[in-house]
Amino acid sequence: MTKIIGLTGGIGSGKSTVAKYIASKNIPVYIADDEAKKIMDDENVVVEVQLLFEENILNDKHKLDRKKIASIVFQNPEKLNQLNQLIHPKVKQHFKDWLKTHKNAPFIIKEVAILFETGGDKECDKVILITAPENVKMDRIMKRDNIDKNEILKRMKNQLSDDEKSKKSDFIVQNINLNDTFLEIDKILKILKIS
């Protein structure tokens, strides 16, 4: 049976870059955030999400305004929880269907930002955690998302700390220098292939 390897890390850790690197090695990689975004573009889901909010969260194209939603839910844990309860079951079902199409692979990578927070680690055979020092994460996020430090800290508060995640992970990769990170990932992939 195909093994499920969880790949996770806090915002700005570089887990998406690592996921792309693994995918370049012809290993099936499921990016949960990307699939969640596609699901949230579905017309029926747009209506369901809008019903969770009193204010209008649609843009002028009648699609969900992700920035507006993020600014609301990262200040309101209850709204974030409601949104997650709506979207996560849909992503979970999509992943099950996707997994069937990769049933002959020895293992697949499931990249999920909030793997532990949603209990998704229980469905994984092993977990790879990507970490980085907080100042490195901050720099990456500010460059990538063009948001200020306070906004980043709010988002970080909604995720478990790297220390907590480390205790539950099988492999921990400190991602400061990409070349070193990729070498570390290559070693882990070798271990996974023979285990």
Does 161 count as an annotated binding residue?
A: no
- Measured CA to CA, the distance from residue 98 to residue 114 in angstroms comes to 19
CATH second-level architecture of 1-28+104-195?
3-Layer(aba) Sandwich (3.40)
CA-closest candidate to residue 172, choices 20, 9, 4: 9
Contact 122, 6 (CB under 8 A): no
pLDDT of residue 148: 81
pLDDT of residue 151: 80
Class of the CATH domain delimited by 35-101: alpha beta
Low-confidence ranges of the chain (pLDDT < 50): none
pTM score: 0.89
pLDDT of residue 142: 86
Which residues, other chains included, contact 100 with Cβ-Cβ below 8 Å and sequence gap of 6+? none
Q: Residues of CATH 3.40.50.300 domain(s) within the chain?
A: 1-28+104-195, 35-101
Tell me the torsion sign for CA atoms 80, 83, 89, 91. Answer: negative
Contact 17, 178 (CB under 8 A): yes
Give the tokens for residue 13.
């850790």
- Which contiguous run of DSSP H or E holds residue 166? helix 162-168
pLDDT of residue 99: 96
Does 16 count as an annotated binding residue?
A: yes
pLDDT of residue 158: 74
CA-closest candidate to residue 121, choices 152, 86, 166: 166
- Measured CA to CA, the distance from residue 31 to residue 114 in angstroms comes to 12
